Amino acid sequence: MPHKISSRRRPLWHLLTFAATALLVAAALATGAAQAAGAPDLVTRKVRFRGGEDLNVKPGGDVNVRKPAADAVPPAKTPEGRASCSVTFDNDTALITKTYIDGMFAGTIRPFGELSAPSVPGSTVLYARAEYDDGSADAWGPIRVSCRTKFRWRLSD
């Protein structure tokens, strides 16, 4: 004979299920609203870089040549179902800032501007630096983040 749940317990079970569902929906809506409002996923303050070799930046060999090589191969397309991730650098400072994704130059941001750059989904390293004419620099990161579809990083003083 199957066990019968008393009518007294059934409303409590339904109430708990409804409350848990409502909390999950509210959390999902709050997360979506924060992303839609442009709230950063991470805010980082700058640190002073005193000069010398910066191990967070890969040496650049990216120079255009007047006569491109005939054997240049275009990059492979991303496999279907593997979309790229958009990393947005939000420069909340009065400094001109260079940005890097996995050590590769991503672009320069004007003061109080922002820049979006594509990255592969998953774990990636972000870094930014503002260079001065005396050879010193202010730096943000490096930080390792997990990017699924989009990630916003605010650079702050």
Total structural domains within the chain: 1
Residue 118's CB is within 10 A of a number of other CB atoms, namely 12
Q: What is the dihedral of CA 17, 19, 23, 28, to 10 degrees?
A: 50
Asked, for residue 137, whether it belongs to a domain, the answer is yes
Average pLDDT in the chain: 76
pLDDT of res. 34: 45
Q: For the segment 4-38, what is each residue's pLDDT rounded down to a tens digit?
A: 555 555 565 555 566 666 655 555 555 444 444 56
Which residue range forms the structural domain that includes residue 146?
A: 41-51+82-156
The rounded percent of the chain whose pLDDT value lies above 70 is: 57
Asked, for residue 4, whether it belongs to a domain, the answer is no
Tell me the DSSP string of 120-138: -SEEEEEEEEEE-TTS-EE
Stated pTM of the model: 0.60
The pLDDT-based confidence of 118 (bands split at 50, 70, 90) is very high
pLDDT of res. 112: 96
Task: Write the CATH number for 152.
Answer: 2.60.40
Q: For the segment 58-77, what is each residue's pLDDT rounded down to a tens digit?
A: 766 555 556 666 666 665 55
